[in-house]
Structures are given as C-alpha cells and as structure tokens.
Structure 1
Amino acid sequence: MELSLPQWGQLFTLSMVAIALGMDAFSLGIGMGMKGVLHRQIVTISGTIGLFHILMPLTGIMIGRYLGTFVENIAVMVGGGLLCFLGINMVWQAFRDSREATIFDTGRTLGVLLFSVSVSLDSLSAGLSLGLFEADVWLTVVLFGLAGGLMAGAGFFLGQSVGGWIGDYGEAVGGVILFFLGLRFLM
C-alpha cells in the first residue's frame, strides 16, 4: 500500500515529534548511564519509559479531541502554542543545574515508575496538542513509545561509555525541534 503525500507528511511530523520527545529520555538516560546501571535495569527502565510514552500521549490525545470539539476554530493555534511552550521548556530544563535523574532510586519499582512518568510528562502535553490536530492515534502512540523506549536505552548505553557532554545538548535539540514544529502550526 502506497502512502499519499498528506500521510507521508503526518508520518514525518509525528516522527520528528517522537524523536524530540525521546531526546528527554535520551539525555536523562545518558546521565544515569554515567552512574553505572545494570543491563537488566536498562531494559526495565527503557521499557517502562516506552510504555509511559504510549499511555501519556494517548491520554493527551483523548483530552485534546474532547477539547477540540469546543475550540474548533482555534485548535491549531492552541496546539501550536503548546508545542512551542513545550520546546522552550525542554531547552530551559536542559541547562538547569538540578536533574530529576538524581532523585529517583531506579533500583526499586516505585523509583522506575516515578522516573518514567517524569520523563513522559512532555508526551502528555504533546498528545494534547496532537489531539487538537486530529492526528492518527495509533501511529502517534507507536512512534512515541518506540522512540521513548529506544532512545532511553540508547542514552543509558551511551552514558556508560562517553560521558556527560551530550546529555544537555540532546534535550536542548529536542526542545528546539518541538519549538519550530509549533511555530509551523502558528504561521
């Protein structure tokens, strides 16, 4: 089956958003990987992050679709504004001194869940925006889940081998991507 031009556009846009949101998990994974994490923990944490990168945008999309019925004429502007805000917030968070990764004990189930939820909160906001745009739900959650889980795992493994200079920049790049995607919808 061949994709039409609008379908390719949606696939490209959703892939970019998924990668941008996965940059947060990637950069935090690098930070935690530098501290030394067992391979079993990497798989568990990355899988949990991937799961929450599915559940959070799914919740956001449902809320966005519900709200979209009330704000039909301004839905694109609101969604674009949310993506811009989310991007700016990611860039700001990238260069803050304190990191969430240091306060969660990922050796315990509660720590893994709290860490995964904190990394996936951006996906909730993005899901809300995409719900206002009537994005394809299944494509969105599959791309978000894969990107979140795989990028977290890649971050952990990279963090074990390279060091801290990539972490902040990876999250900042993700924020810039989201900001410009949001601007695209505002113009």
Structure 2
Amino acid sequence: MVASINEIVSIICMAFALGMDAFSVGLGIGMQAIRLKRILLIGFVVGIFHVVMPFIGLMLGSILSSKIESIAILAAGLLLCAIGFQMICQTFMKQQKPILAPVGFGLFIFSFSVSLDSFSIGLSLGLSGAATAFAITMFGLFSMVLTWTALLIGRRTHHLLGTYSELLGGVILFGFGLVVLL
C-alpha cells in the first residue's frame, strides 16, 4: 500500500516537472496575441503530445533509450532556440504575422518540442500495467493544465507590456532552449 502511494506521488511529481517545461515555453508563446479558443486548442494538443510521446517511448523500449535521449534533448533545445530567435527577429522587423505561430504546423512543432522530454521519460519508465497508463494520463493532464495557465499568464502580460511582450517571449524561449542544450 505504501509502495503504491509512493509510486503515485512520484508519478505526479514527474508529471508536474514535465508540465513545467510546457509552462515555461507557454509563457513565451502566450505573449503573442492569442485568442482564448486558440489557447484552449494549444493546451489540448500539448496534452495529447505528452500522452503520445511517452507511449511511443515505452513502445520502443529501453534498448534504444541511451542513444535517442541525447538526440531528443538536442532537438528540443534547437527547436526552442529557433522559435525564440524567430520571435526576437520578428519584433525588430515589425512583421504582422509570425513565421512560426502556434497554429497548424507551428502548433505541432511547438507541441513536439515541449514533449520531447516526455519521450525520453517514456523510454526509461520501468513501470507496468495500470501504473503506466496512470503515468501517461498524468503527463498529459498536467502539461495541458500548465500550458493553459502559462498561455493565459502570457496573454495578460502581452497586454501589459505591449510591443515588447513578444521580444520578452522570444528571449524566454531562446533562453530556455539554451538551458536545455547546456
């Protein structure tokens, strides 16, 4: 009984940590002018990716984990740096439409980049049966809720900071990408 409670607490802590990745990136993305319907969709897509990516990781197994984990971390860092750099450049070029907005393909790139770490966790998860389903469900739920929270905070900050909000969002994303790379 105590072991299963400890396992549940561990999974919830892990889900929160994975969701904080989406939260921090969502703050930067939320500083763009985003409608509430788009925020709802972004959160759902990020949540789905945080369910699918660890599931794929679990299916691939632990044989490939050491090789793929470093590639996944590198790819996530580079994608975040690229999105942040694009937002910074866009602020100075005064473009109306972002090159990579959280819409369509850009939404999938965003969701993919913040869920790569959950793929690595899925590769290394040694859980079985219902605990695996519980873990994956918690990953999706926490990342979805934390993404919504970050986007709403970023949206509010956008209104407070005006034109500099996108610059700040780009710096946050670029910095987070550097942290992932280092």
Cα distance in 1, alignment partners of residues 26 and 127 from structure 2: 31
**3-state secondary structure, aligned to 1:106:** coil
Cα distance in 1, alignment partners of residues 29 and 60 from structure 2: 32
Q: Please name the residue that 1:58 is paired with.
A: 55
1:156 counterpart (151, 155, 159): 151
What aligned pairs does 1:33-112 form with structure 2 within 5 A after superposition? 33-64=30-61, 67=63, 98=81, 100=83, 102=87, 104-107=100-103, 109-112=104-107
Deviations 1:1-32 (A, max 9, x none): xxx11111111111111111111111111111
Matched, 1:140 2:117: no
Give the TM-score taking structure 1 as reference length: 0.66
**CA RMSD in angstroms, aligned pairs only:** 3.5
Cα distance in 2, alignment partners of residues 9 and 154 from structure 1: 27
Cα distance in 2, alignment partners of residues 100 and 119 from structure 1: 12
4+ runs of 1 displaced by more than 3 Å? 162-165
8 Å CA contact 2:29–2:102 kept in 1: the answer is no
Give the TM-score taking structure 2 as reference length: 0.67
1:104 positional shift = 2.4
What number of residue pairs does the alignment pair up? 149
1:28 counterpart (25, 29, 33): 25
**3-state secondary structure, aligned to 1:36:** coil
Residue segments in structure 2 that go unaligned for 5+ positions in a row: 88-98, 159-167
Q: Please name the residue that 1:125 is paired with.
A: 120
Aligned residues with identical type, % of pairs = 29
Deviations 1:30-81 (A, max 9, x none): 111112211111111110000000000011112226x39xxxxxx9xx7xxx
Cα distance in 2, alignment partners of residues 145 and 155 from structure 1: 15
**3-state secondary structure, aligned to 1:35:** coil
1:134 positional shift = 2.4
Cα distance in 2, alignment partners of residues 162 and 7 from structure 1: 41
Cα distance in 1, alignment partners of residues 83 and 21 from structure 2: 11
Q: Please name the residue that 2:7 is paired with.
A: 10
Task: Point out the more displaced range, 16-25 or 133-142.
Answer: 133-142
